[in-house]
Structure 1
Amino acid sequence: MATKRDYYEVLGITKTAEGDVIKSAYRKMAIKFHPDKNPDDPTAEDKFKEAAEAYEVLSNADKRARYDRYGHQGMGGGGGGGPQNMEDIFSQFGDIFGGGGGGGFEGFFGGGRQGGGRRQKKGSNLRIKLKLDLEEIANGVEKKIKVKRYVACQPCSGTGAKNGTDMKTCPTCQGQGQIKRVVNTMLGQMVSSSTCPTCNGEGKTIVSTCDVCKGEGRQLHEEVIPINIPAGVANDMQLSMNGKGNFPERGGVPGDLLIQIEEEPHEFLKRDGNNIMFEQYISFVDAALGASLEVPTIEGKVKIKVDPGTQPGKILRLRGKGIKDLNGYGRGDQLIHLNVWTPKNVSNQERELLEKLRDSDNFTPHPGKNEKGFFEKVKEYFA
């Protein structure tokens, strides 16, 4: 699989570019690489689609923020989940060129694309929330979910017509799905197009409807879909699966399945980016004499050593015990913050022992020798 280029690089803009700049840059790239303007360049259409994908992400505030933080992986496994073919691009972004749907592009370039102007419909997207625990987020996981979605009716092959064939060419648009009009202007003839009102852009009309779907071309179907969740996803991140949404009425391409990640809190551990934070309480006896303790990690319990004379606020680090990076850049650590537990109630015997220790110079705090605070240590660790 080819490596995707940075979306900002594709449009030739900086990461601080605002909406009008992004729109203008996309318009420029679309004009430059439009296939009708580059009939001898086999790479033009790919570059045209690449620009559309970049614009689809960077023109959306939520998608852009997710891309800035997680890169292509944050867009659902390497792509923006945006327009996949020329018809989708014409439909979604035609307004940038002064028209709606496919008409804007056709009017701008003085005609339609070769092979007819009928636009392929796309079904609606499905949205679900997927709860993941910290262990699943740290290592990645495959989940199987049950969804109800519209799929193409099998007896009529999604056409809505009886046996899938009882249809005729639309007499209004002659099968093109669009009505074109030529307008004379000072700059010459301009071609505009609009969806055919008779067939709603389908190019054909039904003579007799399918007995199963009653002409709708689709049926509600329950399906179990496996979803591969990459390691390192974050709360509220949205992943997408192309073609796993609803099939549109009477033909077209299915929409997408959009998966929103919901991170469930862990009983003991707390996430901080790719690192795991844990608060470990020890007695002042263990702090003074040292101890061997077990602490939880996302991979199970491990033993740690507390050195004699440990001061409150000390941070221990377990390398590689954090969360895998979403973009594959290693793995975080687990940071253990040691807190010394002070008992609130002591027995008479314990009080006597503590009174004796109070008088010992070894148990008297020395000004200027106190350890740094927890957040100061964390700041130093990441410096």
Structure 2
Amino acid sequence: MTDYYEILGVSRDATTEEIKRAYRKLARQYHPDVAGEESAEKFKEVTMAAEVLTDPEKRRMYDLGGPSAFGAGGAGGPGMGGFGFGDLFETLFNTAGATARGPVPRSRRGQDALVRIDLDLAEAAFGVHRDLTVETAVVCGTCHGSCARPGTSPRPCSVCGGRGMVQRVARSFLGNVMTQARCDACQGYGSTIPEPCLECSGEGRVRTRRTIGVDVPAGVETGSRIKLTGQGEVGPGGGPAGDLYVEVRELPHPVFTRRGDDLHCTVSLPMTAAALGTVLTVESLDGQLDLDIAPGTQPDEVLTLRGKGMGRLRGHGRGDLHVHLDVQVPTKLDERQQELLRELAGLRGEESPAARLAPVGAGMFARLRDKLAGRS
């Protein structure tokens, strides 16, 4: 059974003042705004115990029957006099007073804004300048952020006297306490605007379309964001503007695949060209380039063109372009072609080649080892 005296840490013959002192101490310790949301149940339990034990009639009923004397609804009722947990916390910690050192500023910082742009691979590789058309809030050109009609100005609130807060008396089990609340007449600003600006309806800002230039650096990729300080939404009351973020989406390329700062592509090569060697002309982001194919080039070899890849976003220079060679073996040969290939096979002693088994990928590593060793 829940023991309210044990919860508050007081004896069963404690006076009302002793119970109130114990409650104040525990409320400061367990309020969720101080100890976190995990203490909310404990704070509620402590408050319930104090409400019961500081009310003479409820305490008598509790001493006779325990918590069950109040039924399923617990100890709630007239004892709190409509004085909720939030009001109680304000009373104990003077949170309302802490924010009442002056009226709330009417001018506030605006929100950040986000726009997205699409770039092709070359624009992402080398960087580009873009002019963006955005719709954001700007300072009202009529009232210049004052929110009042030209020739007029805000007036001190007659209800709170310009403080933005008003005092009220609330009844609780601790007795009548004085609290502070936001003034409803001026919404806490401490001033009212009898004649709002007609252009912005008293907001101090209006929405409009404008053009902003942005320099996209080389090397950006999908998800990269460029921050334009102070180019976002102007705040209420003509407050400082937030920031504008430009988010990049890189469009797919029909030939090149990007992997970090490097580019990859595949070039198909006839078997004879791979065997005899040749020079291929390939497309790149820099235009056409000559690619030397050495005699005896093997399938799946990769030739690297240094510095022909993407620009580096955080560094100097560029990545590389890796060209993957796809050696094509002919599938249809006429009689003369077959005859020539058989003659070649005879010259190389390959009429009946013996199968040599090896793990998957071993051939590629063997070719690489042979190249490093200078073998033909």
Change (3 A) 1:359 1:242: same
Contact residue 135 and residue 299 of structure 1 kept, 8 A: no
Residue 65 of structure 2 corresponds to none
Which range is displaced more, 309-318 or 369-378?
369-378
Tell me the matched-pair count: 267
Residue 313 of structure 1 corresponds to 300
Residue 335 of structure 1 corresponds to 322
Contact residue 287 and residue 311 of structure 1 kept, 8 A: yes
Contact residue 119 and residue 177 of structure 1 kept, 8 A: no
Q: Residue 124 of structure 1: CA displacement? A: 3.2
1:140 corresponds to 2:134: no
Residue 227 of structure 2 corresponds to 240
Q: Structure 2 matches for 1:112-261, cutoff 5 A?
A: 118=105, 120-163=107-150, 165-171=152-158, 175=162, 197-261=184-248
Q: Residue 245 of structure 1: CA displacement? A: 2.2
The letter for the 2-side match of 1:168 is: R
Contact residue 107 and residue 235 of structure 2 kept, 8 A: no
Rounded Cα–Cα distance in structure 1 between residues aligned with 2:365 and 2:204? 61
The letter for the 2-side match of 1:287 is: A
Contact residue 103 and residue 188 of structure 2 kept, 8 A: no
Partner of 2:238: helix, strand, or coil?
Answer: coil
Q: Residue 350 of structure 1: CA displacement? A: 3.0
1:354 corresponds to 2:341: yes
Q: Residue 288 of structure 1: CA displacement? A: 0.6
Unaligned runs of 5+ residues in structure 1 are 1-98, 182-191, 379-383
Which range is displaced more, 342-351 or 132-141?
342-351
Partner of 1:150: helix, strand, or coil?
Answer: strand
Contact residue 118 and residue 178 of structure 1 kept, 8 A: no
Q: Residue 326 of structure 1: CA displacement? A: 1.6
Residue 261 of structure 2 corresponds to 274
Change (3 A) 1:211 1:119: closer
Contact residue 266 and residue 326 of structure 2 kept, 8 A: yes
Residue 272 of structure 2 corresponds to 285
Contact residue 100 and residue 164 of structure 2 kept, 8 A: no
Residues 200-225 of structure 1, C-alpha deviation per residue, up to 9 Å, x if partnerless? 45443211022322323222211111
The letter for the 2-side match of 1:345 is: K
TM-score (ref. length: structure 1) = 0.58
TM-score (ref. length: structure 2) = 0.59
The letter for the 2-side match of 1:311 is: Q
Q: Residue 157 of structure 1: CA displacement? A: 0.6
Residues 6-37 of structure 1, C-alpha deviation per residue, up to 9 Å, x if partnerless? xxxxxxxxxxxxxxxxxxxxxxxxxxxxxxxx
Task: Identify the match of residue 284 of structure 2 among 273, 281, 297.
Answer: 297
Contact residue 103 and residue 190 of structure 2 kept, 8 A: no
Residue 311 of structure 2 corresponds to 324
Contact residue 266 and residue 323 of structure 2 kept, 8 A: yes
Residue 42 of structure 2 corresponds to none
Contact residue 106 and residue 236 of structure 2 kept, 8 A: no
Which range is displaced more, 335-344 or 276-285?
335-344
Residue 59 of structure 2 corresponds to none
Contact residue 276 and residue 333 of structure 1 kept, 8 A: yes
Partner of 1:128: helix, strand, or coil?
Answer: strand
Partner of 1:320: helix, strand, or coil?
Answer: coil
The letter for the 2-side match of 1:126 is: A
Contact residue 312 and residue 371 of structure 1 kept, 8 A: no
Rounded Cα–Cα distance in structure 1 between residues aligned with 2:342 and 2:211? 68
Residue 57 of structure 1 corresponds to none
Rounded Cα–Cα distance in structure 1 between residues aligned with 2:94 and 2:115? 39
Rounded Cα–Cα distance in structure 1 between residues aligned with 2:255 and 2:346? 37
The letter for the 2-side match of 1:138 is: A
Rounded Cα–Cα distance in structure 2 between residues aligned with 1:230 and 1:180? 56
Aligned-pair identity in percent equals 33
Give the alignment's Cα RMSD to 1 decimal: 4.0
Residue 249 of structure 2 corresponds to 262
Residues 144-192 of structure 1, C-alpha deviation per residue, up to 9 Å, x if partnerless? 11112221110101232101743113345655656799xxxxxxxxxx9
Partner of 1:163: helix, strand, or coil?
Answer: coil
Residues 258-306 of structure 1, C-alpha deviation per residue, up to 9 Å, x if partnerless? 2221110111111001111111111111111111112222222211101
Unaligned runs of 5+ residues in structure 2 are 1-85, 169-178, 369-376
Rounded Cα–Cα distance in structure 2 between residues aligned with 1:235 and 1:228? 16
Residue 12 of structure 2 corresponds to none
Rounded Cα–Cα distance in structure 2 between residues aligned with 1:376 and 1:165? 87
Contact residue 118 and residue 177 of structure 1 kept, 8 A: no
Change (3 A) 1:198 1:317: farther
